[in-house]
Amino acid sequence: MPAAPLIVFDLDGTLAETAGDLIATLNVILALDGIGPIAIDQARVLLGSGGRALIQRGYASVGRSIDTTRLEILFKQFLAHYDAHIADHSHLFPGVVAALDRLDAAGYRFAVCTNKMEAPSVKLLTALGVVSRFQAICGQDTFAVFKPDPDALFGTIEKAGGLPDTSIMIGDSVTDIATAKAAKIPVIAVDFGYTDKPVAELGPDRVISHFDQLFDAVASIQASRRSA
């Protein structure tokens, strides 16, 4: 029996609005070194590459650098605080559950490939009530590499029991689009996530502005594959 077609989602800024909890945690960490809080609307563009990068970008935003030793200390504190507040303000974007239901009924299966660590990814999706919908949830520490290395996406697809030829990536940032392009896998970008540049300018195969549009975007890509 052939593998079911697979939809691989990014997590932060794609499936879920997590900026409130991530930036609140970042501000707790910055305060340890006397750096004032960054407003959420200003800090959204710092998200998308994992906790270490978020801390580095937070320091850089005020003109400061951080050495590797200090970064690792703060990263552990970041993970501990975030774990305790992982879903204080986070929620699925509108239409996610309905989109999953419709695609599931059409025979699709789902996975997550994120640069969030795997354990908090599973914990967040559990708190949001959708963890059972995914055949694999893979984070920055699941494999030896992480996005934008295409092997992170290939590893997620394999773990979920899918095949690259029938998989599609859904993301919100240059990291997701670059990962999919490197893997030669079609990518649909959401335009409401965490990016400092409009996703339409990054060359995704399709752009959606609401999850109500996802089914048709997926169907369009699959039709293009069949006619190629």
Give the amino acid at 155: G
Q: One of 10, 12, 176, 205 is an active-site residue; which one?
A: 10
Is 10 one of the catalytic residues? yes
Give pairs for 194-202: CB < 8 Å, separation 24+. 194/12, 194/13, 194/19, 194/44, 194/45, 194/46, 194/47, 194/48, 195/13, 195/45, 195/48, 196/45, 199/172, 199/173, 202/174, 202/177
Nearest to 22 by CA among 48, 4, 3: 48
92 pairs with which residues across the strands?
16
Nearest to 214 by CA among 90, 101, 115, 121: 101
Contact 176, 169 (CB under 8 A): yes
Residues annotated as catalytic (active site), given as ranges: 10
